Structures are given as C-alpha cells and as structure tokens.
Chains A and B, each alone.
Chain A
Amino acid sequence: MSARSAAILAMLALAAATAGCATVAPFERERLADPIMSFREDSREAAQELHWMEAREGSTGGAGAAGGGCACN
C-alpha cells in the first residue's frame, strides 16, 4: 500500500470515527425542542407563521415533525 493510499484510508477512518448520528432519548430532548434550535434565524416568528398557515389551510401536522422533537405523535 502506498503512502498516499494509507493517508486516504486514515482520513476516511478518521472521518467515520468522528462523524455520526447520536440517538437522543425522548426525555432528554429539552434543548432540541427549543425553537431556537430551528435552522431559521427567526425561529419563533416562523413557528407563529406555521401556526397561522396550519389554521388557514387546515393542515396541522403537515409540515415537519409534530411534537417539537419529543417523540410523540
């Protein structure tokens, strides 16, 4: 194995070891459930807009996951 291949392999191994998904238990999602965790800058305003849209269109639950990340339906 050449040094170049070894370096690429090492980098791939490092990437695999440092990246990944973590499972967060439903009772530990307090911080994740905070609207501030939204990708949008104006997350609280966005939540209100969504509420209006859902009321107007009769589409509650039609956007994103319901329940604010607490694993409830």
Chain B
Amino acid sequence: MRALAILGAAVLAAAAPARAEDWSSWERALAGWSFETPDGARATLADFRGRVVVVNFWASWCKPCKKELKHLDEWNALLGGDDVRLVAVSVDHDARRMARFVETEGITLPIVHDGPQGLAKTLQIPSLPCTVVIDRDGRVVRVVDRAIESAEAARELIDGLVGPAIPGGSG
C-alpha cells in the first residue's frame, strides 16, 4: 500500500506541468533565434532588446491563425513609435503557401518563414496559433495559447509593458 502511494505520488509529480512562470528555456531559445527579415537581412530577437516584442506563431493551413493574423496586422498598423515589435512566424512547410496568403490578404506586418522544425519545435509551443510577449529585458511575460480575436485584444497584450524605456536599453 505504501509502495502504491509512493508510486502514485511519483506519477503525479511527473505529470505536473512545469511552473507556468518559468520560461527561462524559452527566453534563451528566443534570444538566440536567428531569422531573415523581410528585407533579407539576418536578425535575432536579442537585437530588439529594449523593446517589447510580440512573437506570433501561425500557419496558412490554420483557420483561426489566419483570422488572428488579420487582427494583428490591423493592430500593427496602429502601432506608433519604436516601442513594440511584432513578428509573425509562419510554421508552414512551404513558404509559397504562406506568401500566397500574405499577398492575397495584403498583410503588411513583418512575416518570417521558419517552418515546423524551427523555433516552434525548439519551444514546443503548446498550440497554434500561439503568441509570446517578451518584455524590454528579454523576459517572456505572456504566452497566449489561443487565437486573439480583435485588434483591441492584441493591444491588451502589452498593457503595462510599454512605457518609459529602461535606462541602459539598446533602444
């Protein structure tokens, strides 16, 4: 009976999710992630240190992602200043399918094609779409594992994060 209780406790401990606020492995992976910007240059998210960064994972085969991307695009067009960077990461196998959707819908926010074996796999994102909000210090502060349903809801992602720049930030 005692052995059964110990076994039960061990199973429960193994099944328990990691602390929700412990995103350190994500932060390391995100900081080191290198991608090609729409104008063909190489960049990393660490280059955006000092700004709030919103990373959205989506795919052209995912209907809620496509609806969400339009809301994010709308929000991105309203973003003023240099405080916030929005990066939409496509996990499509085929970049041409992604490009076709972006062109058809007239999406203007920065899109990066990374495929299903890239950052999404490294992070093991829990859903698609998935949106990660990174603060000025490179810390993951929010992970949204459902579709964002309006531009207003997208704006609320950065509530309390955008304000005066932290002294010493790269700006």
* Chain A residues proximal to chain B, CB less than 8 Å: 25-30, 33-34, 66-68, 70-73
A-B contact pairs, 5 of them (CB 8 A): A26-B127, A27-B57, A30-B91, A70-B129, A71-B128
Contact at A72–B61, with CB atoms within 8 Å?
A: no
Contact at B128–A70, with CB atoms within 8 Å?
A: yes
Q: Which A residues lie within 8 Å of B59 (CB)?
A: 27, 30, 70
* Chain B residues proximal to chain A, CB less than 8 Å: 57, 59, 61-65, 91-93, 116, 120-121, 124-130, 146-147
- A-B contact number at CB 8 A: 61
- What is the interface of chain A mostly: helix, strand, loop, or mixed? loop
Q: Which B residues lie within 8 Å of A34 (CB)?
A: 61
Q: Which B residues lie within 8 Å of A28 (CB)?
A: 116, 121
Contact at A67–B64, with CB atoms within 8 Å?
A: yes
Q: Which B residues lie within 8 Å of A25 (CB)?
A: 116, 120-121, 124-125
